[in-house]
Structure 1
Amino acid sequence: MGELFSLFAVYITIFLFGMTVMRTGLVNLSQDRLKMTLMKMTSSPLKGLLVGTVVTAILQSSSAVMVMTVGLVAAGYLTFKQSIGIILGTNIGTCFTTELIAFNITSAIIPLLIIGVILLNMRKHITYCLGCISFGLGCIFVAMQGLETLAYPIASIPAAYNFLQLTNENNLLAVGVGAVLSALIQSSTATTAIAMGFMNDNILALQAGIGIVLGANIGTCLTAFLAGVGASRPAKLVGFAHIWLNIIGVLVFFPFIGWLGALSSSLTTIPNLQLAHAGTIFNIISSLAVLPFVALFTKFITTLHDDVKVRM
């Protein structure tokens, strides 16, 4: 049993390593442009949502964009209200990664790794960045394949099996599992990947997987909250806003997990894609629903945390 969980930890590490390497390549391709885009193109909530979506899709990390946003608000380049649109966009942009890893392209793993190594050893900046992207993506799919192979052996352990069955029967527990796991490993995408591994072997039900994805949205808020610790008061509010947006979204959608599962099942029969589509639908609807009420939500956060005065 110890060996199984050690391998599980190794595959999670490989996944996070791959995400970091791929993100490094993407960021280095356009690092300066990303910050300038956040600063110049967030004059309205809709623009902020679009920018947050695109930048998160590029960086492959909502946490990285949130940390950047907290920093810009702390420095006075963005107002707290401008950050709300970006937060809504990050929730949508992060779905790009989950949709990508849901596809089974194991035959491309070796070519991705080989091409990545070759490009990494070239001197040109652009080839190095492309090498990072290729090698990182290869590592991600190695980890995905490994997590899938470990799903059945782990589920064969009586304690793990009983816990998974309990998770299948209790959507609230699934949400809690997703929140805790995402907070611990600081990646909602990795949490979704774990759920996909168990779903592929029919160990985890779709509704339980959706519950874990919803919980992961809450758990990943920890990064932005920690980034605001010790920062200016407006920056702290960004972290609070991120937490409340995701908590409210999960509370509203929780009674409709069954509907969300039925809708995603009607779109595809592949378990991985069903879960990815469910997460995408949830985040798009949640973000678009809040978009017209950004001003009211800003007042709600500033009133709730009335000890914090901000520049609107």
Structure 2
Amino acid sequence: MLRRFTLPLVMLLLAYVLWVGSEFMELALGVAFFIFGMICLEDGFKTFAGGALEALLQRSTDRLWKSLTLGITSTTLMQSSTLVSLITISFVSSEMISLAAGIGIILGANIGTSTGAWLIAGLGLKVDIASYAMPILVFGVLLLMQKSKRVKGLGNLILGVGFLFFGIHFMKEGFTVFQLGFDLSAYSMTGIYGVLVFTLIGTLITFIMQSSHATLLIVIAALAAGQVSYENALALSIGASLGSAISAVIAGFAANLGGKRLAAAQVVFSLVTSLLAILLINPLIQLVDWMSGYLSIGSEDYLLKLALFQTLFRVLGALVFMPFISQVEALLIKVLRFVPKSIEQPIYIYPEVLETPSTVVVAVRKEVQHLFDNAFGLLARGLSLKRSTLESEESLSTAVKTTKRIFPLDVEDAYEEKIKSLHSEIVAFISEAQMRESTREATEELYVLRQASRDIVSAVKGMKHLHNNLSRYGLSANLAVRDRYDQIRLDLARLLRELQVLLAEEPSSTTALSLDSLRLAVQKASRTMTDELDEMIRYRRLTASIATSIMNDENYVTGIANNLISAVNALLTREVDETAEAFNLDEADIQQLMNKEVDSPLESLKS
């Protein structure tokens, strides 16, 4: 209830402050421009995040020094540690990089944040930066009006730079005007109490604005205008680092298990770094003075000294933290474990069912079908299609072609919540049933149903890998890549629809043949996709690396499809008269039909 009224109250308070104190207007405008510029930069880089950025992250994290360097350079380039953290969290969550590698990137990103202070202190407040911002914005808007997604992304990047420049300009002017009416330097505090009070203020500012970059800009602009003393400005910059830890906690609430662990690591790092900076502030100030002489920084150039202080204490924190990354990783994995929000409960299996073998088999079959139903919804979302679409007679081809976004899906959390818990209950129930007196037929059927449960679990795990690349390439601007992934999504969606239809119908003597037809269709589609990719590589319509990714994903689809068909086969064909088994095709029969180049049975699945 309180959170619902927080934003309106903040906006009303801000409106009142701006109304009664015109001195705040330019200052607030500068902050707004700066933060909006960061948002534009993030949006721009997200446009290109589906290719080179992720590939770079994935290839450059096998050593700690590489992860650290990548964090520094990417944050320096983007001027947004938030975006780097979000991308890193997504990679740790999907297990594409280790938690230790993610921690290394976060350490580098924290060091990279200090480069913004150098740019602002060394250039932003000493040059008429607004004169450069105006033409930059003109070109940015022009690019933003184009149809190409990548051109628009470039336009967002250029706009971001322009608004950052404007933000710096108005912040500088705002503090100059603000100084005429107020003198904050009169509230300057010295000693340890001054350090603690202004560290707390810097923390609160960063928490409110959710940006340590914006806090540093305010601190540097205030220092340039004489509104804060040099010592208090140093404490404010320490608070900016500590405030980013609070932001990480908030981000961690919405993340999955991997994201929570990485956010916790960032909190620990920020706390350690800030504590070291507070305890060693006097030696660090002396070190800054000593190094300033070698770097040709004037003794009164407090702006560049502040930037140097920022870099030194963040590097110090990283150096102290780095030897213990393995221990921190092990501790976080041990302490932070998955706590399901709502465990899926069995519907059909309970102790009373164990009284007779026949009721056990019926109950387990229904529970496995319940598991399949859960997996059906999860797989549909993994394909970025609504469950209702798959369950209707709507054209799947149209639904795939008109997809506007890839649905976000935390497969690990969904698996733990909807699949693993139910599968564990099924396995435990079957084990309990097998300890009791039972018939040979019931024992065999329970064995088959347990394997069906495993097949469903394997299919969901396959979607975990498939969804990673669907998120990256599913809406690729390269039409050849988009078409291949559309075909992958369409084939699997058609299979899911057909399997659900079979489960809804009464089993008959043709059920086994229908499943064999689907199995043959899967093999045929896989071969067709491979042949098409080979041709595209030969004619250089696709790079070998992207084609390899598509081939790997086609293998995942084939595995998912075969697991689902096997599971449905176990659920249905046991209910059919044994004479139908004479029609079943074995693996040799399927391969023989494949070699005859029959028409693809997938045609029969078209909506």
Q: TM-score normalised by the shorter chain: which range applies?
A: 0.7 to 0.9
Residue 235 of structure 1, CA deviation:
2.3
Residue 50 of structure 1, CA deviation:
1.7
Partner of 2:110: 91
Q: What amino acid is the match of 2:238?
A: L
Partner of 1:17: 36
Structure 1 contact 71–235 (Cα < 8 Å) conserved: yes
Structure 1 contact 210–261 (Cα < 8 Å) conserved: no
Is 120-129 or 279-288 further displaced after alignment? 120-129
Aligned-pair identity in percent equals 25
Deviations 1:102-136 (A, max 9, x none): 21332433343344344444566665444433332
Q: Distance in 1 between matches of 2:83 and 2:190?
A: 30
Structure 2 contact 60–67 (Cα < 8 Å) conserved: yes
Q: 2:87 aligns with which of 68, 71, 80?
A: 68
Give matches, 1:204-243, under 5 Å.
204-243=228-267
Q: Distance in 1 between matches of 2:88 and 2:203?
A: 22
TM-score by length of 1: 0.85
Structure 1 contact 23–59 (Cα < 8 Å) conserved: yes
Structure 2 contact 185–226 (Cα < 8 Å) conserved: no
Residue 7 of structure 1, CA deviation:
3.6
1:274 aligns with 2:305: yes
Residue 172 of structure 1, CA deviation:
1.1
1:186 aligns with 2:210: yes
Q: 1:245 aligns with which of 269, 279, 284?
A: 269
Is 205-214 or 191-200 further displaced after alignment? 205-214
Give matches, 1:150-189, under 5 Å.
150-155=174-179, 157=181, 160=184, 162-163=186-187, 165-166=188-189, 170-189=194-213
Unmatched runs of 5 consecutive residues or more in structure 2: 1-19, 339-607
Report the CA distance shift for 1:122/1:32 in structure 2 as closer, same or farther (over 3 A).
same
Structure 1 contact 49–87 (Cα < 8 Å) conserved: yes
Partner of 2:55: 36
Q: 1:308 aligns with which of 330, 337, 344?
A: 337
1:285 aligns with 2:285: no
1:56 aligns with 2:85: no
Q: Distance in 2 between matches of 1:281 and 1:31?
A: 34
Residue 202 of structure 1, CA deviation:
2.1
Q: What amino acid is the match of 1:101?
A: I
Q: What amino acid is the match of 2:217?
A: A
Residue 198 of structure 1, CA deviation:
1.0
Residue 159 of structure 1, CA deviation:
8.2
Q: Distance in 2 between matches of 1:8 and 1:201?
A: 12
Q: Distance in 1 between matches of 2:114 and 2:91?
A: 24
Q: Give 3-state SS (helix, strand or coil) of 1:308's partner.
A: coil
Q: What amino acid is the match of 2:337?
A: V
Q: Give 3-state SS (helix, strand or coil) of 2:227's partner.
A: coil
Structure 1 contact 206–261 (Cα < 8 Å) conserved: no
Q: Distance in 1 between matches of 2:133 and 2:80?
A: 22
Deviations 1:59-113 (A, max 9, x none): 3211222122222222232332222111111112222322222213324333433
Unmatched runs of 5 consecutive residues or more in structure 1: none
Q: What amino acid is the match of 1:257?
A: I
Residue 47 of structure 1, CA deviation:
2.0
Q: Distance in 1 between matches of 2:210 and 2:23?
A: 22
Q: Distance in 2 between matches of 1:173 and 1:33?
A: 43
Residue 258 of structure 1, CA deviation:
3.2
Deviations 1:234-272 (A, max 9, x none): 321211110110111111121332343344452423333
Deviations 1:3-50 (A, max 9, x none): 223443222111111122233334434542222322332223222212
Q: Which of 1 and 2 has greater Rg?
A: 2
Q: Distance in 2 between matches of 1:4 and 1:229?
A: 37
Q: Give 3-state SS (helix, strand or coil) of 1:17's partner.
A: helix
Structure 2 contact 27–173 (Cα < 8 Å) conserved: no
Q: Give 3-state SS (helix, strand or coil) of 2:275's partner.
A: helix
Q: What amino acid is the match of 2:327?
A: L
What is the total number of aligned residue pairs between the two structures?
307
Q: Give 3-state SS (helix, strand or coil) of 1:3's partner.
A: coil
Deviations 1:152-207 (A, max 9, x none): 443455685544x2489701111111111111101101100001111112221222
TM-score by length of 2: 0.46
Report the CA distance shift for 1:249/1:129 in structure 2 as closer, same or farther (over 3 A).
same
Residue 300 of structure 1, CA deviation:
4.7
Partner of 1:149: 173
Q: What amino acid is the match of 1:282?
A: F
Q: Give 3-state SS (helix, strand or coil) of 2:96's partner.
A: coil
Structure 1 contact 70–227 (Cα < 8 Å) conserved: no
